[in-house]
Structure 1
C-alpha cells in the first residue's frame, strides 16, 4: 500500500465523478486539498473548494484513517455529518477515491488529478487502464467527466 501520509497531501482537482453536488452544474471547479495533521494515527485536514455564482466556497473537515478507510467529519454545523471513503488508486498525477453513502449523499467515485490541465487525457487514460486502477466498467458507468 502506498504511504498516504506522503502521497495524499496537496491539492487534487476533480475531473470525473458520480457525486450529484458536482454533476448538477451549479458548483464548478471542485478541488480537494489534503493537509497532513498527524501521521499516527493518520489524520488529514480536508478543504473542498468550488465556485458557485462566481464566488469561491469552502467545505472544511477532518479525515481520520481507520481500518483501511477514511472517516470524514465536517467542521462547524457540518460536524453532524460524516462519510466514509477510501483511496482505490493513487500515484503522482492521479487519485481515485470511492465513497460510501451517508445520511445526505449516495455512494460513488471521484477521479482527481494534481493539475487543472494534466499532461494526459484523464478519461481516455482511465478507460484504457481499468484493472491497473482498481476499477471496473460498471464502476465507470455513471461517472460524469467535468
Structure 2
C-alpha cells in the first residue's frame, strides 16, 4: 500500500492507551509530512487481530488488520490488512530497525514464501523523526 501512489516513507507509531492502541502513520506526500491517526481495538485474546477506526475527520473510516508474523528477536513483523473502500488488500513488513540485515531479509522472504505470497519484497526509505 505504501509503495503505490503518492504516499511515501511511512512511519508506524503505536502507543498503548488503556484497552486500545493509538495508531499514528506518518508519511510524505508531495514533499510534505502528513499523518493519519486512529485507534486499534483488539478483536481477539491474543492481540493479533485489530480493527482500526480513524480519529477526527476520519472517524467514519475503519479497517481490519492482523499480525501474521512477529519476530521480536529480529525486530520485524508481517501485517495483513483487508481491502477497504480506500485501500486494497495487502501486506506490510514493518521493523524497528532503520536497515534490515541479510538474515532479517532472509527470514522475511522465507515467511513470505511459506505463505505463498507472490509479491516481491521491496524496501522503502526511512525518514527521521518529524
Residue 51 to residue 121, structure 1, CA distance change in 2 (3 Å): farther
- Matching residue within 54, 60, 65 for 1:85: 65
Gaps of 5+ in 2: 125-130
Q: Deviations over 1:69-117 (max 9, x none)?
A: 1000011121111000111111331011111112222211101110122
Q: Distance in 1 between matches of 2:81 and 2:53?
A: 13
Where do 5+ consecutive residues of structure 1 fail to align?
1-18
User: Relative contact order, CA 8 A, sep 6+: which one is greater?
Assistant: 1
Q: 2:9 aligns with which of 29, 49, 61?
A: 29
TM-score for both structures, normalised by structure 1: 0.71
Distance 1:32 1:113 in 2: 9
| Aligned alpha-carbon RMSD (Å) | 2.2
Whole-Å Cα distance in 2 between the matches of residues 116 and 27 of structure 1? 19
Distance 1:117 1:142, change over 3 A: same
1:65 is aligned to 42
Could you tell me how far apart the structure 1 residues matched to 2:100 and 2:5 are?
A: 22
Matched, 1:108 2:90: yes
Indicate the structure with greater helix content: 1
Q: Which runs of 4+ in 1 moved over 4 A?
A: none
Distance 1:120 1:37, change over 3 A: farther
Q: Residues 50 and 135 from structure 1, CA distance in 2 versus in 1: closer, same or farther, beyond 3 angstroms? A: farther
CA distance in 1 between partners of 2:36 and 2:6 (Å): 15
Correspondence for 1:124 = 106
Report the alpha carbon displacement of residue 144 of structure 1 after superposing the two structures with TM: 4.9
